[in-house]
Amino acid sequence: MDLDAGSLDAGSLDAGSLDAGSVETEGGRAARLLAAQDRARALFDEVAARGLVVAGRGEREVSDAIRDLAEEMFGTRQHWHKRIVRAGPNTLHPYADNPPDRLIAADDIAFCDFGPVFGDWEADFGRTFVLGDDPAKHRLCADLTRIFDAARCHYDDHPAITGAEFYAAVNRLAEEAGWAFGGPIAGHLVGEFPHARIPGDKVEYYVTPGSDRPMRRLDHDGRRCHWILEIHLVDRARGFGGFHEELLDLGHE
């Protein structure tokens, strides 16, 4: 996704226990990124429990309901990138596109991509929901997590891997499973809000062609770079896709 800070939603930050503070150890940074992700996961567990992604509701309506739920649960009013809910053929579109709002249908596949800010820490979380019984859609949904795990293993096994090399590896995994990869990136840096203001060559912040620096490196302040992994699988012939997103390099040791 585009890391343009101009896409931020208006609102004040929650100044709770996830505040970055003036000095932060690497262990503290990792713990706070994981805590932010845990809150995002809890948010989407509640989205599923309340049945917010349901046939007959518009994508924007569902997005607003999830926004309101985040505020209800955590006091979160800030999202560092545009909130995305897409269903049916809209699931083919990458992040940068803005397809027209669509009513969710009874047999749809739908995905959500949210970037809630908890205190001073960013989360970036994507999940897919299958509303009907279509076996191809259910297979794609299952493959999202399977390919995410396989990509994470590839990352672990290649300590010098670059963003461009990792993007190529993720694309190969998608193709081997019978899907196309749906986005121009497969992930990006994540950290203290707003990481989009980090100076330098923007392509270095992404898992994408042309990102030729090793992903395991230090940022301009001498801190370890942490990454989000995005898996966007699509079946263009059948007109649907799915999306799964969370931290790549933390939380699985």
Contact 251, 41 (CB under 8 A): no
Side chain identity, residue 15: A
Q: Would 176 be classed as within a structural domain?
A: yes
Question: Cβ of 4: how many Cβ atoms within 10 Å?
Answer: 12
pLDDT tier, 198 (very low <50, low <70, confident <90, very high otherwise): low
Whether residue 61 is predicted with pLDDT greater than 60 in this model: the reply is yes
Q: Would 253 be classed as within a structural domain?
A: no
Q: How far apart are CA 190 and CA 1, in angstroms?
A: 12
Domain extent, residue 200, equals 5-247
pLDDT at position 252 = 72
What pLDDT digit, counting tens, does each position of 200-220 carry?
668 999 999 999 999 999 988
Tokens 């993720």 correspond to what residue?
170
Q: Would 252 be classed as within a structural domain?
A: no
User: What percentage of the chain carries pLDDT values higher than 90?
Assistant: 72
What pLDDT digit, counting tens, does each position of 97-139 carry?
999 999 999 999 999 998 888 887 888 899 999 999 999 999 9
What pLDDT digit, counting tens, does each position of 143-155 carry?
999 999 999 999 9
Q: Would 112 be classed as within a structural domain?
A: yes
For residue 91, what are the contacts with CB-CB under 8 A and spacing of at least 6?
109, 110, 111, 234, 240, 241, 242, 243
pLDDT at position 192 = 60
Contact 98, 117 (CB under 8 A): no
Helix (H, G, I), strand (E, B) or coil at 166: helix
- The tally of domains found in the chain comes to 1
Based on its alpha-carbon atoms, the radius of gyration of the chain, rounded to whole angstroms, reads: 17
pLDDT at position 224 = 93
